[in-house]
Every structure is written in structure tokens, then in C-alpha cells.
């Protein structure tokens, strides 16, 4: 059995990454692309019912989908190039924020972690130390100090204003920063996950990988007027997600949560959850959720998708099949060979 005490040397992605869950922003629709013939058969009629009614409109959609597929196929090489360039050329404003220190963390969060690590820790006892939201199994607690949030935002904005290349977090967020490319993974995000978040998640989510969170993907997203205002209804490529509002000043833009992804939308009732600066919302990654539009100001959010190879090796959450492993860099998408006997690894096409 894989656990947090057994380090993994190699992580992989599932081959569906290049074909599945391509988001069409104009139509708020996730699609799959294997071939033009398949795409027309699967989506032409559906798109026609939501505004894509002419041949030129459909051709534009097809062009965007093909471009996204190509972007994903070249992602590994492009990410390596950006990371190398940033490491060589970018001069941080605050180098110290790249290294996790306990005084960056809210005292309440440290208390929660210390309790979770104690021999007497129970779920009921832990829940007394945090706020349970109306949405099922969504929990709120302070994560960082306000001072640290302010410094981190200044660092992120300094990077944004630089001429270094930037990769977007995913197809749904057009404004944001991949924290592994910026250099946060080894010295900040990994220790945050391993030492602080994993003990908490192991008590809250033992049934969906919380006891075995061995990798992650971390990024920040920005919501601002004339940029991304909201985020469509979706689930994360994660077992457990932490979403921390870093600031600055904003109005509205609440999150809303539904049920798990397996439950039909027609059977789901959504619940709004407020964002508060320096506080985190912890939830199951495959619980459906979205973000309502902000009405003024600007908000930065830190998102950590935490993954359990023990869970996802059985079933890829993005294609609902046994994963077909493809080589990746770093934590990739959190799959390993350990729990997939006889699985063959493929090479990425660039």
C-alpha cells in the first residue's frame, strides 16, 4: 500500500489528457476530441442548441479545440522551457516567500494541524476547531497570516509585470500562474502538503484519498474586472482541494458547491460559500463547484489540487477509465505504476 511515508520516484499523466475535458468558454461546455469525424458526430447537434448554429461558428470551435489539443501535446516541452527561463532570468521581489516558514501560517491552522497529529485526534474533535460549511464536507479555517498574503500577492504581481513567459493553470482560467514553474513546489507547496495539510485531510477525507496524498498541482488564479470574472461549474483533477483567498479587495464572487460529479445536475442543489481573505476552503476535489462573478475589485486565489495515486491509479477521474500511463515531469497528474500491475507506459507526442 502506498502512503505518505513511501516516496514515489516517478509520476505520470493519463493519456486522456490530450483528448478529454476540453473547455469551450463561449459555450460553457467540456468536450472530447479524438478526430474531426468523432467531434462532429458527438457535438454538432449539441452545440447547435446552445448558439453554434452556422458553419463558420462551428469551424471556429473546431479550430480552437485543435489548438488546445496541440497545446496539451506540447505542454511538457513548453513548461520545461518556461521553467528554465524563469529560473535564469527572473529576479524575485521577495525571495523569502518561496520558502515555507511557520510564521506565515495562521495560529488557528497550526493548532488544527497539531491536533490532527496527536494520538487522541478524532474527526469530531477536529471539526470543533474549524467551520463546517452548509455545503457537504466543505470546511473553512484560517491558513495564512494577512501579512504573508499581502507579500505573496506583491510577489505574484511583480512576476506578472515581468516579461518572463507564463503558462496558464488550465483551460478554464485565463489569468493565473503555475507555481511549480515559478519555483514554489519543493520549498513551499510540498512541505505545506506533507507536514500540514495531509494530517488534516487524513481525518476529514479518509474515504477519498485523504490518507495518501502523495502529489499535487498548485497554481494561483486571478479574478478582475475585464479579465476572468467567474468560473464555470466543474470538478477538479484532484482528490482533495484547498482554495485560499489571498486578497486583495473584492465584492461578491462567492463559490458555490453541488454534489459529487457522479450525481446528475438535475438532482443537485447548490450552496453558496463566501470567500474570506487568508482563509482556506477544503473540499473533495471531485465535488462539483464554481465561482460566481466578482462585481468589483480584484481577487487572487491559491489553489492546491492534492492527489492520491492509490485512488487515481484505479480510475482516472477525468475519463472514468483505468489510466493509460504517459510519462510526465515532476508530479505530472499524480498517477504511478505502483498500483497498476502490468500497465505499459507510453511516450508523449510533442
Label residue 282 exposed, middle or buried (CB < 10 Å: 0-12, 13-18, 19+). Answer: buried
Distances (CA, A) of 9 to 101, 189, 233: 26, 18, 34
Helix (H) or strand (E) holding 296: strand 294-307
Which residue, 7, 6, 3, 10, is CA-closest to 326? 10
Helix (H) or strand (E) holding 39: helix 36-48
pLDDT above 90 (res 170): no
Give mean pLDDT, residues 141-169.
Answer: 95
**Spatial distance between the Cα atoms of 256 and 253, rounded to a whole number of angstroms:** 9
pLDDT above 90 (res 96): yes
- Do 268 and 258 touch, CB atoms closer than 8 A? yes
Q: What is the pLDDT of residue 320?
A: 93
Q: Is 283 helix (H, G, I), strand (E, B) or coil?
A: strand
- Do 223 and 290 touch, CB atoms closer than 8 A? no
Tell me the pLDDT tens digit for each residue of 9-64: 799 999 999 999 999 989 989 999 999 999 999 999 999 999 999 999 999 999 99
Q: What is the pLDDT of residue 7?
A: 59
Domain boundaries, the chain: 77-308
User: The domain 77-308: what is its CATH number?
Assistant: 2.60.120.620
Tell me the pLDDT tens digit for each residue of 293-324: 888 888 899 999 999 999 999 999 999 999 99
Amino acid at each position: 500500500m502506498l502512503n505518505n511515508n513511501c516516496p514515489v520516484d516517478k509520476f505520470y499523466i493519463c493519456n486522456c489528457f490530450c483528448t478529454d475535458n476540453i473547455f469551450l468558454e463561449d459555450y460553457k461546455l467540456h468536450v472530447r476530441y479524438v478526430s474531426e469525424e468523432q467531434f462532429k458526430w458527438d457535438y454538432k447537434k449539441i452545440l447547435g442548441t446552445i448558439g453554434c448554429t452556422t458553419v463558420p461558428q462551428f469551424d471556429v470551435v473546431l479550430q480552437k479545440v485543435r489548438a488546445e489539443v496541440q497545446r496539451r501535446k506540447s505542454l511538457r516541452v513548453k513548461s520545461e522551457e518556461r521553467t528554465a527561463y524563469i529560473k535564469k532570468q527572473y529576479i524575485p521581489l521577495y525571495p523569502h516567500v518561496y520558502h515555507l516558514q511557520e510564521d506565515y501560517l495562521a495560529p488557528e491552522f497550526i493548532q488544527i494541524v497539531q491536533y490532527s497529529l496527536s494520538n487522541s485526534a478524532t474527526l469530531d474533535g477536529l471539526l470543533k476547531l474549524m467551520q463546517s460549511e452548509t455545503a457537504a464536507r466543505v470546511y473553512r479555517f484560517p491558513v495564512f497570516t494577512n501579512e504573508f498574503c499581502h507579500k505573496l500577492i506583491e510577489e505574484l504581481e511583480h512576476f506578472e509585470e515581468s516579461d518572463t513567459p507564463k503558462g496558464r493553470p488550465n483551460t478554464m482560467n485565463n489569468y493565473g500562474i503555475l507555481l511549480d514553474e515559478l519555483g514554489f513546489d519543493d520549498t513551499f507547496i510540498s512541505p505545506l502538503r506533507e507536514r500540514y495539510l495531509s494530517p488534516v485531510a487524513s481525518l476529514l477525507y479518509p474515504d477519498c484519498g485523504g490518507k495518501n496524498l502523495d502529489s499535487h498541482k498548485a497554481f494561483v488564479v486571478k479574478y478582475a474586472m475585464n479579465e476572468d470574472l467567474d468560473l464555470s461549474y466543474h470538478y477538479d483533477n484532484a482528490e482533495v482541494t484547498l482554495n485560499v483567498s489571498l486578497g486583495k479587495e473584492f465584492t461578491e464572487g462567492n463559490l458555490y458547491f453541488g454534489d459529487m460529479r457522479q450525481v446528475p445536475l438535475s438532482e443537485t442543489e447548490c450552496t453558496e460559500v463566501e470567500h474570506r481573505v487568508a482563509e482556506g476552503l477544503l473540499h473533495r476535489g471531485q465535488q462539483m463547484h464554481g465561482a460566481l462573478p466578482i462585481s468589483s475589485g480584484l481577487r487572487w486565489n491559491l489553489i492546491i489540487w492534492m492527489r492520491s495515486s492509490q485512488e487515481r491509479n484505479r480510475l482516472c477521474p477525468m475519463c472514468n477509465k483505468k489510466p493509460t500511463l504517459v510519462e510526465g515531469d515532476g508530479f505530472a497528474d499524480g498517477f504511478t505504476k505502483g498500483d497498476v500491475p502490468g500497465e505499459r507506459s507510453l511516450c508523449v507526442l510533442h
